[in-house]
Structure 1
């Protein structure tokens, strides 16, 4: 019986590695996205540069005005109001030792006297000089009027009189008003019958300043007052109050006889206050009894 032949099994062939891709097919979507994104990025850059250029041109011209309007900032800026006077009157007498030391000490008077006058509600006697510095905070604005607004009227102060001997003259006055008038109006010295703002207006651009030196006089009463400016900007008109750092300004009349004051103290320029002899008192109050 013939023998059966055993069938030989060929060893299985090792799997062939998949052919490496050249990237043309698998990376086609990424390459396409890159090709598309490059023009988009270029356009975005151009748009950003254009926007920056537009804003750079717009902000100095209009942007600051728009931002200021959004924040409610006034178009007219007021620098700190400065006042000066030769003589002052207080409603009462100065009795505190520390305050009397301020009056008597010339070195202390220059720095501490303004605070003493404020605390004792002092008023300038006869006249007060007010310096207003106006500054524009828009591309353009116009001040069409500036009025004195009297807030309170009382009798002439008679507590303490503080006078300065040989006070200097100031020739920088540009306009004035008398508060004894029914309607105090600012006028120029060379045109006393014409209100200043009936002939002129003040135009200011951003950063421009205008200085006004104003003298307010009083004889009959004590007046507490501020100013009201009418401002036109961005096609709108509004009123802006000007005072002394939140405090009303004060000026009072002068009594004719020094005997009517509780205390009269005088000082030479740069010196402390002191009691005065009769000739000095009469130089201040020439209608006093005995002068």
Structure 2
């Protein structure tokens, strides 16, 4: 593995951003790292879906990726502390693997199908060869913090490696509340800052989650 990147998308936090020092990360000119620190401090998660891009590289001889399995480290109710609406609808790139985190034993399927991907196919890498894997994790019923357990076969021996975000934390995805109005605060992007949405602006931001808003 040489790179793990979490793609941008709607975010939900466990608790609202209230401390003055943290609110500075929402203002114009704040760096992505400052914003990321606030998101991590409030256990932020992809809202409904989390997309992750991983670049894998063969480090020695011939390496085979036998399996990749999400390992849930913690779970709880859907997060309702804050919601950060995506700045644009955007386009979702081609997702090679997808996992339903609400499943009793989450695993990957390919192209939206129901068959387990790694029961049909493995990923082979020669020394120095790279491949990019795009993974999508969805949640509806709860929030999940997880890492990935990667089973690798090399030189006739199998070993399991742990794959996690490059900041050393866990991947996080959360289901949406049944009533999106439950979010304590809703933030939208305006003039380079994240601002609290109120009234019609708040309803507009939540409409993609609840058309009846």
- TM-score norm. by structure 1 comes to 0.67
SS in 2 for 1:93: coil
* TM superposition shift of 1:101: 2.5
* TM superposition shift of 1:81: 1.3
Aligned partner of 2:184 in structure 1 is 262
Query: Structure 1 residue 108 and structure 2 residue 24: aligned?
Result: no
Aligned partner of 2:15 in structure 1 is 92
Distance (Å, rounded) in 2 between the aligned partners of 1:114 and 1:282:
22
Q: Which runs of 5+ in 2 are unaligned?
A: none
Contact kept in structure 1, 2:61 and 2:155, CA below 8 Å:
no
Query: Structure 1 residue 252 and structure 2 residue 174: aligned?
Result: yes
Aligned partner of 1:242 in structure 2 is 163
* TM superposition shift of 1:132: 1.1
Aligned partner of 1:31 in structure 2 is none
Aligned partner of 1:208 in structure 2 is 129
Contact kept in structure 2, 1:221 and 1:253, CA below 8 Å:
yes
* TM superposition shift of 1:243: 0.8
Contact kept in structure 2, 1:125 and 1:251, CA below 8 Å:
yes
Distance (Å, rounded) in 1 between the aligned partners of 2:211 and 2:31:
29
Query: Structure 1 residue 233 and structure 2 residue 154: aligned?
Result: yes
Contact kept in structure 2, 1:175 and 1:214, CA below 8 Å:
yes
Query: Structure 1 residue 284 and structure 2 residue 205: aligned?
Result: no
Moved over 4 A (4+): none
* TM superposition shift of 1:89: 1.2
* TM superposition shift of 1:232: 1.0
Structure having the higher Rg: 1
Q: Which runs of 5+ in 1 are unaligned?
A: 1-77
Contact kept in structure 1, 2:151 and 2:160, CA below 8 Å:
yes
SS in 1 for 2:30: helix
Query: Structure 1 residue 217 and structure 2 residue 138: aligned?
Result: yes
SS in 2 for 1:255: coil
Distance (Å, rounded) in 1 between the aligned partners of 2:106 and 2:116:
10
- TM-score norm. by structure 2 comes to 0.90
Higher helix share: 1
SS in 2 for 1:149: strand
Distance (Å, rounded) in 1 between the aligned partners of 2:27 and 2:180:
20
Distance (Å, rounded) in 1 between the aligned partners of 2:18 and 2:36:
17
Distance (Å, rounded) in 1 between the aligned partners of 2:47 and 2:189:
15
